Amino acid sequence: MKFVAFERQLQGTGASRRLRVSGKVPGIVYGAGQPANIELDHNALFHALKKEAFHSSILEMELGGKVEKVLVRDVQYHAYKQQVLHIDFQRVDSTTKISKKVPLHFVNEENSQAVKFDNCLISHVVSELEIECLAEKLPEFLTVDLGGLSKGQSLHVDDLKLDATVKVLTHGRKNPVIATVVPVAVEEIVAPVATAAAPAKGKAAKGKK
């Protein structure tokens, strides 16, 4: 994905506030050289941030007529308004090694033995994983194939088929669970007990005068 940024001359809280009022977002680009203060169009950035790929892939930033490869590192939002307050980018190249959280895309769940025949559901324990790799090898997402799961099974980090250059960071946890099969609870239906109707008022019981 490609976007356009502009050099930001004025700095400080007041300058940033005026920038936001004018429909711009202050930001910074660091890494592989001197940090650069930048500004971006708020609406264009706001809509770009809604796309998964903008957060988890290498971006092409045009700044001052030069195109650089960057990665989103931090985004600050307003507490309750739909407004981006600040954004940080990191410059990357073919030799840059990075760690980044990437989303998981689950596939073939409906075709698994667990769902199709075992009357089970598959619970997605996590929705993203932190990985380490060269910037140029950063995947936009990781595909998790659930097609081989059946009742009583779980899928772990070690079960993922990854590029040899990609390493999942588990931070000391041994082979964490990514998805697990959960049996569907069957509700027991209890039939209502029939009760004898009470005699109507004013009618005497049979056999009595």
pLDDT per residue as tens digits for the range 172-186: 999 999 999 999 876
> Domain check: are 104 and 41 in the same one?
no
Write the burial class of residue 207 (CB in 10 Å: 0-12 exposed, 13-18 middle, 19+ buried).
Answer: exposed
**What mean pLDDT comes out for the span 116-121?**
93
- Domain harbouring 147, CATH code: 2.170.120.20
Q: Is 73 left (phi over 0), alpha (psi -120 to 50) or beta?
A: alpha
Per-residue pLDDT at 29 exceeds 90: yes
pTM of the model as a whole: 0.76
Radius of gyration of the chain (CA): 29
| 40 in Cβ contact with 30 (< 8 Å) | no
Tally of domains within the chain: 2
The answer to whether 98 and 42 are in contact (CB under 8 A) is: no
**Tens of pLDDT along 58-107?**
999 998 889 999 999 999 999 999 999 999 999 998 788 999 999 999 99
28, 53: one domain: yes
Question: Which residues, other chains included, contact 187 with Cβ-Cβ below 8 Å and sequence gap of 6+?
Answer: none
Q: Which residue has the tokens 């994905």?
A: 1
Domain membership of residue 85 as a residue range: 2-92
- Domain co-membership, 88 together with 103: no
In a domain, 188, yes or no: no
